[in-house]
Amino acid sequence: MTHHTVEDVFAKLQKIFPDIKESEEKIKNYPTWSVSSGSLFKICETLKKESGFEYLDMVTAVDRHGKVNSAGYLTEPNPCVYSQNPSVVPSQSPAPGAGFFEIIIILTSFSMNQKLILVSRVDRTNPEAESLYPLFKSADWQEREVFDLFGIKFTGHPNLKKILTPDFIKGHPLRKDYVHKKDKFDY
Amino acid sequence: MKTGRLLTGTQRNWPTELWESPLSLPTYRRAFFLLIMLGLGGLASVWFIGEISDRINPLYDFAKTYLEGLGIPLFLIQLAWTIIKAGILLMVPVVNAICVVWWERKISAHMQSRLGPMYVGGWHGWLQTIADSIKLLLKEDITPNLADKKIHLLATAVALAPAIAAFAPVSFGKELVYADIDIGILYVFAVSGISVFGIIMAGWASANKYSMLGGLRAAAQMVSYEIPRTFSVVPVIMLCGTLNIAAIAEAQSGYLFGFLPRWFIFYPVVGQIAFIVFLIASVAETNRVPFDIPEAESELVAGFSTEYSGIKFSMFFLAEYSYVLISALLISAFFLGGGSPLLPSLSFIPSWAWFIGKALFIIFCFLWFRWTFPRFRVDRLMDFNWKFLFPLTLINILLAGIWSAEIKHMVK
Amino acid sequence: MPIEEKTFEKPLELDQMFVNMGPQHPSTHGVLRIALHMEGEVITKAEPDVGYLHRGIEKLFENRTYTQGLVLTDRLDYLSSMHNNLAYCIAVEKLMGIEVPARAQYIRALVSELNRIASHLIFFGTYGVDIGAFTPFLHAFREREMIMDLFEMLCGARLLYTYMRIGGVAKNLPEDWTAKCREFTGFFPKRLKEYDALLSFNPIFMDRTANIGIISKEEALDWGLSGPVLRATGVNYDVRKFEPYSFYDKLEFEIPLGQTGSTWDRYYCRMREMAQSAGIIDQCLEALSKQDMPPDIIAKGVPKILKPLKGQAYGHIEASRGDLGFYAVSEGEFSPYRMHIKAPTFINTAILQKILVGAKIADVVAILGSFDIVLGEMDR
């Protein structure tokens, strides 16, 4: 069955998945729903099969660790930039492990002419989420990218390897607490 | 307010009318006129030189009687004469490559609305190829570490030597043949077939996967295209009754109804089919676009010549251009009447000029194909050969048989 | 970067061969590596390997102000910088709630269509070279040179323009620019016919491209393709119609669609898009020459130093290679908290691992070329 507006879809989904709710911070100007990471896969499956959201635009993540003192990354003398000692973390930063990851998923329905954004929170200490690969093949490389840059493990992904960064880069560069360790390419 | 450096006001104009039609600009009209004048001047000088054999033969006879008078045995004189002729023949591939490469660069440039080499030598970059060959000779010769060094070196010789040897029975005009042997056609095809070994050896010895793929492709392609190429000449042999290249060219002189030359290409159906098949197969044999899959630069980097540089690379280059010239000369001998003029009134132009002029026209066609067509895919290439060209040549031989049995005596 | 030791799940059979196509190869269009397992000339497994040009642009955004970030976007898809600028500006404008004046909107549409033609011309030229025809390349570059001249006149740069500004565009059109641009749009459609005669309907070219790399509609949607690659399969998805930006809803144009999703369809979709773009340029010039158009080219009240409130925005446009999106997160600072680039070529290229299997090595080049990849955008 098809729905005519995205509100209908939301009302229907809320009956099946009670944890889905309108996100308090909308991603301008699209309907933004916040869902739990456990039910993300099932919600996407329902959206794809019953509401015509058959096209996955984008998968990405945001590190909600909190603001770090980014000025340190631009100037040379800061010890945190090319730290030999990874235990040194930038000053004025939140406590290690604070915050969470947000997984952002954008879906498109051609029948409704509508884009829809799902936001899901993932624990920061052991980030894991269910892979969307069985539903949308386009999640293949995008999830690998998120894994590479944020370190979120997608269970059920057939080929979860690093994709963008070289193999000698340890860690996940887009995490806010990432500290670059000096290697042979640094002078 | 004007912004931008180059396109301010009238500083740069797009020559759009030139791109629409080249002759719309006076500069181009002048250049066209100049080309025509150059051609006429060339014709006049060619007429002035006349038949080369008529000039050389008395000279040779005079030298022979003089030297015999001195008591030198005849075989020594003949040996010296053969060595002189061989030396001249050895120069042919080199001079040919130098000229054709420059020509190709200029022609391709003008087809692509650019100018090509313009600086070296002063006039339209005419010394560019010489400069390039000096550069190639002086370049470092690199052999890959893992390569089979002996075969890597030997491959160049195996590719080039047959290309030069194949020139022996090829006719350049009336009595201008190095070796006037009776099985000339067989000799050319047999000898030029050896070159493929050089390419396979180059592909194998380079220890590079792209080279090996290129070598294998070359083997498949060149061996396959030998067959329609040889078969397409069979009607010519049947109708002329000889395997001697000079004799075949000679047999096509004369005119039908007083104006139509008796060139083989003008024989209805049989001649045209044979000509087209031979032309296509020749392009394929010389590994040029659209059949350049052994060295397909966008797929296999440079194919079998990937790991060659400097003088070794120029050997392959030389071989390729020699084969282009041989193909062009053979086409003009087999199908375009060799040294016979197009019209009876044009017979003041000597036969060698006709011969080479026709060959140059065929070379121009080769260049034209190269800068117009995209490349075939390897399996389509084989399909085209075995499913189209090969049956076509067989049918053509049948038609030629009917022609020679039934129609030939009626036209005569 | 040292090339890693590849460990295969299954060792190669005796008659198989492993070929590294790239990162140094004439027709991978940059530093893409495709690891090919072949039997003879037939591919049995293909693994595209990206990341050789990864510069961490998303991380760089986090340490730059919004205005400085604009310069980074040029370096993504360096063949159509205007689109990158536009997508970034739209995302930031959404974040800050800026309304762009009408004149700037038309100029944006105009330059992005010009850039689409320039980018597609590069595709046309290099695709010809991939297939083995060299002449179209120089013809395409001749016409592209005209667009480069126009852009140089407009903003002084020929490749990386940084012409857009958040809230509008950097400069108004120079005085004799409109005439030059009309000269181009009058000249260009005739050249398209020439290209068709030279390459598009060449039997060898069609033979090589028409039956390979076929992508079905369902596959295309499943793999999230966008741009001409998606439209060649027959899916009518173009952001210019789906979610019009920059007054595209006021301009008339068609979306060229393919039928079979083959390599030739992808090629010809782009060729037809160029004709549509030339039409849009004419309409934009017409609209811009009207007297009642206010002369503003940048929104009033845009601060010198941008400091958006806390919030998130997603802005996307139809770039020449597909649906290019910028996802911006602001925490109320001078620089974005997170900036994600939804790069169309990155997502499009993923399907290569599926459709290359069973193709010949010559087809790899043809199929890869038809995706029109730019590694600067793919690796970011």
Quote the minimal CA–CA distance from C236 to chain A in Å.
9
> Chain B window 101-120: which residues touch C at a Cβ cutoff of 8 Å?
108, 111-114
Q: Which two tokens stand for residue B308?
A: 């060659």
Pick B374's closest partner by Cβ from C155, C183, C208. Answer: C208
Q: Where residue C222 sits, what CATH number does that domain have?
A: 1.10.645.10
Tokens 């025509």 sit on residue: B36
User: Which of B70, B105, B138 is the endpoint of a domain?
Assistant: B138
Residue A29: domain span: 6-128
With contact defined as beta carbons under 8 Å apart, do B58 and B66 qualify? no
Q: Is C16 inside any structural domain?
A: no
Quote the minimal CA–CA distance from B389 to chain C in Å.
16
Contact C153 B114 (CB under 8 A): no
* B229 and B278 housed in the same domain: yes
Q: Which two tokens stand for residue B259?
A: 């104006």
CA separation for the pair A140, C353 (Å, rounded): 11
Is C358 in CB contact (< 8 Å) with chain B? no
Q: Residue A89: is its pLDDT beyond 60?
A: no
Q: How many domains does chain B have?
A: 2
Q: How many domains does chain C have?
A: 1
Beta strands A32-36 and A114-123 are parallel
CA separation for the pair A32, A27 (Å, rounded): 6
Task: Grade residue A3 by pLDDT with cuts at 50, 70 and 90.
Answer: low
* B126 and B159 housed in the same domain: no
With contact defined as beta carbons under 8 Å apart, do B256 and B339 qualify? no
Write down the pLDDT at residue C28.
79
Q: What is the DSSP letter of B254?
A: S
Pick C142's closest partner by Cβ from B20, B113, B293. Answer: B113
Strand partners, C340: C327
Pick A70's closest partner by Cβ from C62, C224, C312. Answer: C62
Quote the minimal CA–CA distance from A56 to chain C in Å.
6
> C338 contacts in A (CB within 8 Å)?
62-63, 174
User: Which of B112, B138, B164 is the endpoint of a domain?
Assistant: B138
Note if the bond before B22 is cis, omega within 30 degrees.
Answer: no
Q: Which of C138, C155, C193 to mutate to test the interface with B (most CBs of B within 10 A)?
A: C138
Phi/psi region, residue B254 (left: phi>0; alpha: psi -120 to 50; beta: rest), is left
Section B271-283 average pLDDT: 89
Q: Which residues of A lie inside 8 Å of C (Cβ-Cβ)?
A: 25-30, 54-58, 60, 62-63, 67, 70, 73-74, 104, 106, 108, 110, 113, 115, 117, 136-142, 145, 149, 162-168, 173-174
Q: Is A155 inside any structural domain?
A: no
Q: Residue A80: is its pLDDT beyond 60?
A: no
Is C60 in CB contact (< 8 Å) with chain A? no
Tokens 């990937």 sit on residue: B306
* B131 and B147 housed in the same domain: no
With contact defined as beta carbons under 8 Å apart, do C337 and C329 qualify? yes
Burial of B229 per CB tally in 10 Å (0-12, 13-18, 19+): buried
With contact defined as beta carbons under 8 Å apart, do B229 and B189 qualify? yes
* B122 and B222 housed in the same domain: no
Note if the bond before A18 is cis, omega within 30 degrees.
Answer: no
Contact C95 A28 (CB under 8 A): yes
Residue B110: domain span: 52-138
Most confident of A25-29, B141-145, B169-173, C88-92: C88-92
Q: Is B269 inside any structural domain?
A: yes
Q: What is the DSSP letter of A77?
A: S
Nearest CA in chain C to A174: C59
Q: Is C13 inside any structural domain?
A: no
Q: Is C328 inside any structural domain?
A: yes
Contact C350 A113 (CB under 8 A): no
The number of angstroms, rounded, from the C-alpha of B150 to the middle of its chain's C-alpha atoms is: 30
Q: Is B214 inside any structural domain?
A: yes
> A106 contacts in C (CB within 8 Å)?
314, 325, 342
CA separation for the pair C342, C344 (Å, rounded): 6
Nearest CA in chain C to A184: C1
With contact defined as beta carbons under 8 Å apart, do C192 and C130 qualify? no
Residue C326: domain span: 57-379
- Per residue of chain C (380 residues), give pLDDT as tens: 444 455 555 666 667 788 888 788 877 787 888 888 888 778 888 888 888 888 888 888 887 888 888 898 988 888 889 999 999 999 999 888 888 888 888 999 999 999 999 999 999 999 988 888 888 888 898 888 888 888 888 888 888 888 888 888 888 888 788 888 888 888 888 889 888 888 888 888 888 888 888 899 888 988 989 889 999 998 888 888 888 888 888 888 889 998 888 999 999 999 999 999 999 999 989 888 887 878 778 878 788 888 888 888 999 999 988 899 999 998 887 788 889 999 999 999 989 888 988 888 888 888 988 888 888 888 88
> A55 contacts in C (CB within 8 Å)?
221, 224, 237
Closest residue by Cα to residue C344 from C373, C305, C310: C373
Closest residue by Cα to residue A169 from B289, B336, C4: C4
> B213 contacts in C (CB within 8 Å)?
41, 361
> A110 contacts in C (CB within 8 Å)?
235, 237
* B65 and B147 housed in the same domain: no
Nearest CA in chain B to C171: B3
CA separation for the pair B255, B275 (Å, rounded): 19
Mean predicted lDDT score pLDDT of chain B: 83
> B388 contacts in C (CB within 8 Å)?
none
Closest residue by Cα to residue C7 from A167, A141, A149: A167
The number of angstroms, rounded, from the C-alpha of B297 to the middle of its chain's C-alpha atoms is: 22
Task: Collapse the DSSP code of A53 into the 3-class scheme (helix H, G, I; strand E, B; otherwise coil) and give the result.
Answer: coil
Q: Is A164 inside any structural domain?
A: no
Contact B375 C26 (CB under 8 A): no
Q: Which of C21, C146, C153 to mutate to test the interface with B (most CBs of B within 10 A)?
A: C153
Q: What is the DSSP letter of B171?
A: B
CA separation for the pair B292, B316 (Å, rounded): 14
Pick C56's closest partner by Cβ from A104, A136, A173. Answer: A173
Strand partners, A120: A35, A103
Q: Residue B5: is its pLDDT beyond 80?
A: no
Question: What letters, b where the CB count within 10 A reaches 16 and e where it falls short, cover C105-137?
Answer: bbbbbbbbbbbbbbbbbbbbbbbbbbbbbbbbb
Write down the pLDDT at residue A83.
44
* Residue count of chain C: 380
Quote the minimal CA–CA distance from C195 to chain B in Å.
12
CA separation for the pair C251, C187 (Å, rounded): 21
Q: Where residue A44 sits, what CATH number does that domain have?
A: 3.30.460.80
Quote the minimal CA–CA distance from C217 to chain B in Å.
27
Q: What is the pTM (predicted TM-score) of this model? A: 0.85
Burial of A1 per CB tally in 10 Å (0-12, 13-18, 19+): exposed
Least confident stretch, A160-169, A176-185, C47-56? A176-185
Amino acid at B155: A
Quote the minimal CA–CA distance from C37 to chain A in Å.
18
Question: In sequence order, which residues have a C-beta less than 8 Å from that of residue C266 and are 6 or more positions away?
Answer: C213, C228, C229, C232, C258, C370, C371
Closest residue by Cα to residue C59 from A185, A84, A81, A30: A81
CA separation for the pair B106, B129 (Å, rounded): 11
Backbone angles phi, psi at C34, to 5 degrees: -120, 120
With contact defined as beta carbons under 8 Å apart, do C297 and C270 qualify? no
> Chain C window 205-234: which residues touch B at a Cβ cutoff of 8 Å?
205, 207-208
A vs C, Cβ pairs < 8 A, gives 103
Write down the pLDDT at residue A187.
63
Note if the bond before A29 is cis, omega within 30 degrees.
Answer: yes
Backbone angles phi, psi at C251, to 5 degrees: -105, 150
CA separation for the pair C351, B194 (Å, rounded): 44
Q: Is C47 inside any structural domain?
A: no
Contact B112 C176 (CB under 8 A): no
Is C245 in CB contact (< 8 Å) with chain A? no
Write down the pLDDT at residue C113.
92
What Cα–Cα distance (Å) separates residue C145 from each residue in C122, C177, C252?
11, 15, 27
Question: In sequence order, which residues have a C-beta less than 8 Å from that of residue C101 and are 6 or more positions away?
Answer: C168, C294, C296, C297, C298, C299
Nearest CA in chain C to B379: C360
* B77 and B216 housed in the same domain: no
With contact defined as beta carbons under 8 Å apart, do B334 and B361 qualify? no
Write down the pLDDT at residue C380.
84
Establish how many alpha carbons lie within 13 A of residue B308's alpha carbon, considering only the half-sphere containing its beta carbon.
28
Contact B373 C204 (CB under 8 A): yes
Tokens 């979709």 sit on residue: C269
Q: Is B27 inside any structural domain?
A: no
Is C33 in CB contact (< 8 Å) with chain A? no
Question: In sequence order, which residues have a C-beta less than 8 Å from that of residue B156 and are 6 or more positions away?
Answer: B198, B202, B308, B312, B315, B316
Write down the pLDDT at residue A86.
47
With contact defined as beta carbons under 8 Å apart, do B200 and B218 qualify? yes
Q: ∠C301-C303-C305 over CA atoms, to 5°?
A: 175
Contact B290 C132 (CB under 8 A): yes
ipTM: 0.84
Does B touch C (3+ CB pairs < 8 Å)? yes
CA gyration radius for chain B? 24
Contact C150 B7 (CB under 8 A): yes
Closest residue by Cα to residue C366 from C244, C211, C246, C259: C211
The number of angstroms, rounded, from the C-alpha of C113 to the middle of its chain's C-alpha atoms is: 11
CA separation for the pair C330, C62 (Å, rounded): 10
Nearest CA in chain C to B17: C187
Amino acid at C375: L
* B186 and B322 housed in the same domain: yes
Pick A173's closest partner by Cβ from C59, C221, C311. Answer: C59
CA separation for the pair B193, B200 (Å, rounded): 12
Q: How many domains does chain A have?
A: 1
Within 10 angstroms of residue C249's Cβ, the number of other Cβ atoms is 11
Q: Is B243 inside any structural domain?
A: yes
Write down the pLDDT at residue A85.
47
Contact C205 B374 (CB under 8 A): yes
Nearest CA in chain B to C365: B299
Q: Residue B63: is its pLDDT beyond 80?
A: yes
